Amino acid sequence: MQLIREIVQEAFISGCLTVEAEEQLRQRLRTKYDTKDFRAFMLLQHAVMAGTIRQESRDLALKQQSLVTAS
């Protein structure tokens, strides 16, 4: 299993936090992790909130919501 900071690094490289990566983060956050992983996760949260990194699950939810609204 990847370290949190490795998952975060992939999100920064691609510019997108995938649904799969979100699930991996949830699993890793349930276990012990070090300060470097915690800091990386906090950077990811800030980047998602700032719009620097897209969150695939949010994009999918918005798309589905717009489909329902359009019907």
Per residue in 10-38, pLDDT (tens digit) is: 999 999 999 999 999 999 999 999 999 99
- pLDDT > 90? residue 66: no
Whether the pLDDT of residue 63 is over 90: the answer is no
Q: Where are the alpha helices (DSSP H) in the chain?
A: 4-14, 19-29, 35-50, 56-70
Q: What are phi and psi of 31, to 5 degrees?
A: -110, 180
pLDDT at 60: 87
The residues, any chain, with a CB within 8 Å of residue 55's CB and separated by 6 or more, are 16, 17, 22, 48
**Distance between CA atoms of 65 and 14, rounded to whole angstroms?**
25
Instruction: Name the pTM for this structure.
Output: 0.86
Q: What is the pLDDT of residue 23?
A: 97
